[in-house]
Amino acid sequence: MACPPELEESLVWKLTDLGLHRHAVQHAPETPDRKQLLLWLPQPEWPEAERQQLLASLEPLAEPFGLPLPQGHWDDVADEDWSLSWKQHWQPDPVGEGLLILPAWLEVPPEHGERLVIRMDPGSAFGTGSHPTTRLCLEALEKAPPVGALVADLGCGSGVLGLAALGLGATAVVAADTDSLAVRATGDNRELNGRPADLLKVSLGSVEALQHLLEGRRADLLLCNILAPVIEALAPGFEALVAPEGRALLSGLLVDQAPRLEQVLGDLGWRVSARGSQGRWGLLEIQRR
């Protein structure tokens, strides 16, 4: 089915929550905003009635955006092919001027040989880099590389942002997520990229987990790509995580959610130093007043 950017994160989350990991979001390099969601299911276990019920369970995800769920269709795939065919739909994904998100089993294309490669295992479905909010964060990191910085990643998902930060010059990254699968995915992707565990430490938890990993220090840069209500709830803890001269990149929010979040952050002593957007999704860079 077609996968509008507004729905991508929610659809991927829901499928993963249902235990349906054999899925992929693909797009042609020249049309990154025209994406398709593909899902592979074993037919004997998923007769037509079950598949229709699955689609019905996805419909509420579109309601907050005032969108209908795109029409989907099913195709038969040979038994011997279906369990691996989902991998064929993952392609190298250039981001910004010099980053490349690369599925773990692919070689670096010659035309992207000069880019910083971040290898990912998309099977975990935690933020491979294709969602607009992840791209916003990656592009912001690239524009202001965290050279020599201590970076904290709150809600690390796949670890893609922390891995990018290391590749762009950060001295160390500490990361945390409340989902144990995300913690595992970050660890797995850290190994895929040959990064030592002491350079990218990851723990289960939230603000307190990051404080423990920071060992009394505060980060030069905080990354927080979650959702606006969660950012709002966590914001009182940012002061304990970010150094006085540090900054934070916040995404996962809709553009129309930004004004309220800016007000909340302002009341806590933060100012917005930069804004970004892709479609309906936004990013805020904040610093201490």
pLDDT in tens, 183-221: 888 999 999 999 999 999 999 999 999 999 999 999 999
- From residue 219, alpha-carbon distances to 89, 243, 266 in Å are 37, 6, 20
- Is the same domain home to 77 and 191? no
Does the predicted TM-score (pTM) go above 0.85? no
Per the annotation, binding residues are 134, 155, 177, 225
Radius of gyration of the chain (CA): 19
pLDDT of 125: 45
Q: Is residue 189 part of a domain?
A: yes
Per the annotation, binding residues for S-adenosyl-L-methionine are 134, 155, 177, 225
| Domain containing residue 264 | 132-288
- Is the same domain home to 195 and 271? yes
Least confident interval from 9-23, 100-114, 144-158: 9-23
pLDDT > 70? residue 138: yes
CB count, 10 Å around CB of 13?
13
- The pLDDT tens digits for 94-132 are 999 999 999 888 999 999 999 999 998 755 544 566 678
**Interatomic CA distance for residues 261 and 270, integer angstroms:** 11
In this structure, the chain runs to a length of 289
**Sheet order of strands, 99-103 included:** 93-95, 99-103, 116-120
pLDDT > 60? residue 273: yes
- Is the same domain home to 39 and 178? no
Domain boundary among 89, 113, 143: 89
Q: Is residue 214 part of a domain?
A: yes
**Domains contained in the chain, number:** 2
Is the pLDDT higher at 53 or at 80? 53
